[in-house]
Amino acid sequence: MENTINQLGEYKRQIDELMARIDIAGKRELIKALEARASEAGFWDQPDAAQRTMQQLAKLKALADKWRSLAERIADAIELAEIADADMEAELEAEAEALGDLVEAMSLQAMLSGDYDGEDAIVAIHAGAGGVDAQDWAEIMERMYLRWMEQNGYKAEILDRSNGEEAGLKSVTISVKGEYAFGYLQSEEGVHRLVRLSPFDSANRRHTSFAKVELWPDIQSDIEIEVDEKDVRIDTYRASGAGGQHVQKNDTAVRITHLPTGVVVQCQNQRSQAQNRERALQILKARLFEMERERQEAEMAALKGENVEAGWGNQIRSYVLHPYQMVKDHRTSVEVGNTTAVLDGRLGDFIEAYLRQKVSG
């Protein structure tokens, strides 16, 4: 029992340090201030601003409550362990093990202290060098990330998808909704390299192909970016499903080109052209917001990174399926031999190592 008590005491120490690091006490004070503001007369006279305040309040309360709940659970376990008899030892050991997993998860979450780490995300995957193999690789990556999102409780919605001519896809844009989606997915932004025996080569030769992942925080309501109508070109087309089959007979899909920057965004998943246009504008604003933020803050370059070509020499991670099996992240040197598990969405080792390196660096 003494070992269990010592273990629980160590968890309490870790949680206390983490709560101090991310200033949970300060967040509680901010919660009080926001609650006071929300109770003022005339608070809802400006509904958009009021809605943003309520959203901020809800996020802060959820965060503070999660940390308080864990701290209280550890304190309760310590109190019980100090008075428990031998019959409860197995039960307390199981509780200590469960608490250890939670402390580890919260320790990782505490690394996500960036301004937008807690936000939803928009992920785009683009086929790079490698022809049809690269387009097939982009589709494999789409499946990998959708699996990761499902396994970790995120809601994924495909906003736009452009299929390849022979196989795979040219690009796909995915909305990811859930706690710290942007923070966790930062590790995935960049060029991903695949080495395998090509299923599209009649001689069964080894091929190398590339795909690129882009990422933006999906902060629709917080973006203070105005887009002038004369600066955009809006095209409409028919939304299509797998295999090129039209899922709409009308031109409901929308493509918006921002002429000053050349940024192009597309959306086809909504039911009407108006809804697709609204969502595409939100994505455009998110991208323009990110570009402006990078321009103003040099240190944020690490968040978005340089616009690199999806080809040789630029990869952040290599997935080798032949002549041996290994996935290696070139930034953290983390290697995983179970390539099947990785391609099935088990990305935790890479995400955690990236975040720890980012914090220590």
- Kindly write down the DSSP assignment for every residue of 250-284, as one continuous string: S--EEEEEETTTTEEEEE--SSSHHHHHHHHHHHH
The pLDDT score that the predictor gives to residue 228 is: 84
The pLDDT score that the predictor gives to residue 237 is: 85
* Per-residue pLDDT band at 52 (split at 50, 70, 90): confident
Check pLDDT > 80 for residue 128.
yes
What is the C-alpha to C-alpha distance for residues 224 and 291, in angstroms, rounded to an integer?
13
Check pLDDT > 70 for residue 292.
yes
The beta strands (E) that lie in the chain are given as: 121-127, 155-163, 169-177, 190-197, 206-217, 232-237, 253-258, 263-267, 315-320, 326-329, 335-336
| Structural domain includes residue 92 | yes
| Structural domain includes residue 59 | yes
CA distances 117 to 110, 134, 176, 203, Å, are 10, 30, 13, 46
Nearest to 189 by CA among 334, 314, 325: 314
C-alpha count within 13 angstroms, C-beta hemisphere, residue 77: 29
The pLDDT score that the predictor gives to residue 129 is: 86
**Number of structural domains, the chain?**
1
* Per-residue pLDDT band at 304 (split at 50, 70, 90): very low
| Mean pLDDT calculated for residue range 330-359 | 94
| Structural domain includes residue 103 | yes
Nearest to 195 by CA among 244, 124, 140: 140
Reduced to 3 states (helix: H, G, I; strand: E, B; else coil), residue 310 is: coil
Number of Cβ within a 10 Å radius of residue 147: 16
What is the C-alpha to C-alpha distance for residues 240 and 60, in angstroms, rounded to an integer?
40
Assess contact for 161 and 172: CB atoms under 8 A: yes
Check pLDDT > 70 for residue 316.
yes
| Mean pLDDT calculated for residue range 111-124 | 86
| Structural domain includes residue 308 | no
The pLDDT score that the predictor gives to residue 247 is: 47
Check pLDDT > 90 for residue 146.
yes
The pLDDT score that the predictor gives to residue 310 is: 59
Instruction: Please state, for a pLDDT cut of 70, what percent of the chain lies above it.
Output: 89
Parent domain of 71: 2-109
| Mean pLDDT calculated for residue range 27-54 | 92
Q: What is the pLDDT of residues 245-290, one digit of tens each?
A: 444 456 788 999 999 989 999 998 888 888 898 888 888 888 888 7
For the entire predicted model, the pTM comes to: 0.70
Instruction: Please state, for a pLDDT cut of 90, what percent of the chain lies above it.
Output: 57
What is the C-alpha to C-alpha distance for residues 295 and 188, in angstroms, rounded to an integer?
22
The conformational region for residue 276 under phi > 0 = left, psi -120 to 50 = alpha, else beta, is alpha
| Structural domain includes residue 80 | yes
The pLDDT score that the predictor gives to residue 306 is: 53
| Structural domain includes residue 22 | yes
CA 326 to chain centre: 24
Phi, psi angles (nearest 5°) of residue 138: -60, -40
Nearest to 138 by CA among 122, 153, 127, 124: 127
| Mean pLDDT calculated for residue range 147-153 | 96
The pLDDT score that the predictor gives to residue 249 is: 52
Q: Can you give the CATH number for the domain in which 97 is found?
A: 1.20.58.410
| Structural domain includes residue 72 | yes
Nearest to 194 by CA among 204, 205, 206, 208: 208
| Structural domain includes residue 300 | no
Task: Kindly report the average pLDDT of the chain as a whole number.
Answer: 87
